[in-house]
C-alpha cells in the first residue's frame, strides 16, 4: 500500500505544469510525477499539521539496503547532487515528495533495482518555515 502524500498547493500547481510540459519529451517521468500528484492531498501552508517533504525540504531517510542519506528536494534548475540537492524529476525525488516522517515507499535506485526508503526526519524549506 502506498503512503499518503501531502503537497502544498503552490508546489502542486507548479509541478503539474512542469510535468504536463514533459509529457511529449519524457512521458514515463512525467506520468510518474503526475501520478504522485494525483494521489496527494493538496493543502495550503497554514493547513500543514506536521512536517512532510515539500519542495525545498531537507529530508533524512534510510534504505532497505542499510544506507542512509540526507538530501534537499529541489526543482531541476537548482539540482546539484554534490551538494545533496536532488531534483524532483529523479525517481528518488518523485518518491520523496509529500512523505511524512515514518512513511515508506518503493523507488527505483540508480542501479535499476527496486528499493524501499523510510523517511526519518524532515526539515521544512526556509520559504515554508
| pLDDT (tens digit per residue) in 37-91 | 999 999 987 777 678 999 999 999 999 989 999 999 999 999 999 999 999 999 8
pLDDT for the residue numbered 129: 42
Is pLDDT above 60 for 118? yes
Number of CB atoms found within 10 A of residue 51's CB: 18
Degrees, nearest 5: CA angle 104-108-110: 125
Calculate mean pLDDT across residues 9-18. 94
Q: Which burial class, exposed, middle or buried, applies to 14 when counting CB atoms under 10 A from its CB (0-12, 13-18, 19+)? A: middle
Calculate mean pLDDT across residues 82-107. 94
- Domains and their CATH numbers in the chain: 6-123 (3.10.50.30)
Q: Is 41 helix (H, G, I), strand (E, B) or coil?
A: strand
Round to the nearest angstrom and report the end-to-end CA distance of the chain. 30
Degrees, nearest 5: CA angle 72-80-107: 60
Amino acid at each position: 500500500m502506498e503512503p499518503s502524500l501531502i503537497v502544498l498547493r503552490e508546489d502542486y500547481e507548479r509541478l503539474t505544469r512542469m510535468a504536463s510540459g514533459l509529457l511529449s519529451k519524457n512521458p514515463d517521468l512525467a506520468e510518474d510525477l503526475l501520478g504522485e500528484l494525483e494521489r496527494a492531498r493538496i493543502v495550503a501552508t497554514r493547513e500543514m499539521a506536521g512536517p512532510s517533504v515539500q519542495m525545498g525540504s531537507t529530508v533524512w531517510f534510510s534504505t532497505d539496503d542499510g544506507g542512509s542519506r540526507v538530501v534537499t528536494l529541489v526543482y531541476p534548475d537548482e539540482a546539484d547532487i554534490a551538494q545533496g540537492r536532488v531534483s524532483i524529476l529523479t525517481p528518488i525525488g518523485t518518491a520523496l515528495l509529500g512523505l511524512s516522517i515514518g512513511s515508506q515507499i518503493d523507488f527505483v535506485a540508480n542501479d535499476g533495482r527496486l528499493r524501499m526508503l523510510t523517511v526519518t526526519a524532515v526539515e521544512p524549506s526556509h520559504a515554508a518555515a
